[in-house]
Structure 1
Amino acid sequence: MFPNMLCGACKSHGRRNLKMKIKSLEPMSHVRFKDSIPIDMDPDYIFIGDVPLQPNKNKNSRGTKKMAANKVSNFSDLIHRVTGSCMLHPLGSNHNFTEDNSDYEDEQEDHPQPQAATEEQDTYTTTKEIEMVTLMGEVFETVSSLKKSYVTLQEAHCPWDSDKIRLADVAVVSSLKQLGVLREKFRRRSADEIEHARINKPISGPTLREVVAPYEAAIERLKSDMKAKEEELNNLIQKLKTTGSIKSRSHRRVSCSSQFQSRCPSTSVGSSLSPELFEAYMNSVKEGSKSFSLLLLSLMKAAHWDIAATVKSIISASTTVVGPTHAKYSLESYVNRKFFHGFDHETFYMDGSLTSLLNPAQFRSECFTQHSDMKSMDPMELLGIMPTCEFGKFCFKKYLSIVHPKMEESLFGDLEQRRQVLAGKHPRSRFYAEFLGVAKAVWLLHLVAFSMEPLPSHFEGSRGAEFHPEYMESVVRVRAGGGYVVGFPVSPGFKLGNGYVVKARVYLVPKTEM
């Protein structure tokens, strides 16, 4: 039992599980423990119960029993002395056995002890290595101190000890500051080494890579510029091909039309035009003007315009009351009045041409051919190819007429779109795209009108005129019966040569409001 107790004490306090084999109970007086009390470990005088640990062959059983009776108290005292020594002086990392045990020596061979630090330090010959080892030692010591301080801080929370917490917190902060100092020390040493290496670097000429690098960068830049120029050239070639095909197709159609007219004098281009085609283009104008007017009204509301004052200035009638929901009709009236101004002239009075009077048949044929070429084209793409064509000049004139500089600045905050239009360009914005939709519809309607023989006449309902259902249609719902007159015209009407009437759109108001 006693050897087992010693082994248990060694296991609980030592780092290594020492194997102690007792082949036979030999005298253990030669075993020495550090900081232990000398104990007489002669097994001749150690008994378990009434049986000795090592029988004495020289003594008979009778003497043994007698001696066991005399040694009971001594054995109890021995156990108390051994356990007290183990509790007062536990075996630590510094335990040392002087017994020459072969098993223990084998275990030492399996687990060799680390050599002294002096042998390792001897390998560091340079000052740099020694300083680095010293710095690493300081780092480890500081980290260990930080760990201990943090453990103390945790232990101070339960039970709560404010003074101990404060002291532990100061210790933790001090350790962290020390780590920061060591980090800066390491950084400064590294920076000094880099600067020292740079200063002591042998002076030599630039390398081939350093000499060639600027030229390589210039070559890459020139390659990117050349690629951009090639893309621009391809775009211009494509536009040129498109323009050439349009012109050749137009010329071919005009020549074919002239040959057909020379063979059949009684047949004209106007005979292939129907009133339904004209009315369809008029409906396109109506839809386009509605969409553009709604967009213009939304921009005015976003710019906090006084819509009532705007409507009053458009219709120029102080006695006509237009509700807030009907303000769009006044804006549509304004847009249509600007677009249809000069509709009865072959070029909207953009120049003084009189081709329709000097050679009317040829002019009608050219108008119909231009209508056929343009009807399926996107206006923005067309103006991108030929920005200064007749349709481009028409858009230039009408935009400047509809959108006043102060209006554009109030709606958009600047005059960028106006500057582009004045420069002969066409902005790629939603507002200008909506404007081009109306402009194209009016332009195609104009081409179809001048392709007809005779030229359609247009009219509009003037303010205060009686409402005639065969010539007018109201844009608002009114009760059946009389008592309504025209408040203001919204869009013009047309009467074709065969008597077909495209009704004018008007805004009706009661006679009492006039």
Structure 2
Amino acid sequence: MEKTRPAPSNVESLSKPFTKMFRTHRRRDATGSGGGSGIGVVPGKDKPIIEKLKLSGNLRDYYSTVLSEHHKDEDEKRQHSQKLSSNDNEAMESLLANLFASISAIKAAYAQLQVAQSPYDPDSIQSADQAVVSELKHLSVLKQSYLTNQLQSPAPPVSQPALAARIQEQRSLLKTYQITTKKLEAELQHKDSEILSLQAQLQALEKQNRALDARLHPGRSLSALDNLHLSGLNPTHFLTALRYTVKSIRSFVKLMVKEMESAGWDLDAAAVSIQPDVLRRKPSHRIFAFESFVCQKMFSDFHLRDFNLSFLADRSTWDRRRFFDEFTEIKFVKLKQVFDGKSQKSALRKFLRAKYLALVHPKMDLSFFGNLEQRALVSSGRGFPETAFFAGFAEMARRVWLLHCLFFSFGPGDGSIFQARQGSRFSEVYMENVAEEEEDAAGLRPTTVGFTVVPGFRVGMALIQCKVSLSLPRDAFPR
């Protein structure tokens, strides 16, 4: 296969005519200017070429001159091409900037159109609609300019520089954000109003439920104290709260007795260890011994503003308004909210902890639950034990706390707490028998106080009887 010869360079292509010319000139010099049979050459015809060759000095200089002119032409073409390319880039950049500016303007107008729907604003709707139509027309012009290659025309229909278009885009975006912010603020206000309305409905329903519960279970709830004001406070309100508290004490005692039975305790022995004469009349009266024990622990130092607890020392300076406000605030607080780490009711939480540790012995915790984990949790104050026993205790302690707040809402010197001494004569003025009156076979009636179950109170000019368990004389029992 025949090899392809390389194409001659520019220098070679220029040197061939000169070489041929030199050879012809030599042959003519050898034959003479006009002799022989050859054709004569006019002496003046070849002189300009020779003179040019002499002036150039040599062929290399000439070639350099030709090549420099060639490169100059190439540079001019390249610069022209770059200039055209730069113009194209600027035109495309301007096109894209205007395109995004129009899109942002449409978004802003559409956001304005949405906001104007509710509440209905016809002027704003018309303005937004016109803005959308105007920007759509602008987009159409941009499209036609691109398709017809008019971006580099002296007066393009787009007629907005890239920088100005970017500024317009940012303004449209800012307007969109402002409209969206106003819309969200309006929605937030609407939600807030809905929350307030629902809260009002919830309070009304809770009030109705408490009223129904009060009708079904008289004395079981504090619904009668819902609209209580300090100026209208009277001893009847305190009596209602006391009944409410006594109910919770009896409920907790039933839970405690149930746990004692499950743990295999001797209930008679436990009752006798509290009140030795409790079983002399009736074995079923042992429940009163447990109630007496619980009341003694819960009402201990009740007559002091701070319950004789160091963490409640600041309450010793409270006035009746502060105690009444505390009563109103705590009245419907849920127990889990009290044990919440973020709760502001730390005083109540500490009171529950102190009373639990004083009332429930560690051996009782160990016997009921098999370990001391619940006691440790209560002692640390880190949480709310999820047991029915502690829930019953916490509700009872909360009601004692409420009764204490209401007690000191009557002002200093307007209240006191008392109990009947064992062996004292029964008085219907100061005492109330917890059991129905009974007569033994000999017809004897009990007239002696065995022990106090629930203490009595004096509030203002009113006296609330203490509840006592009576006992028969020792010689009334058969030997």
TM-score by length of 1: 0.44
TM-score by length of 2: 0.47
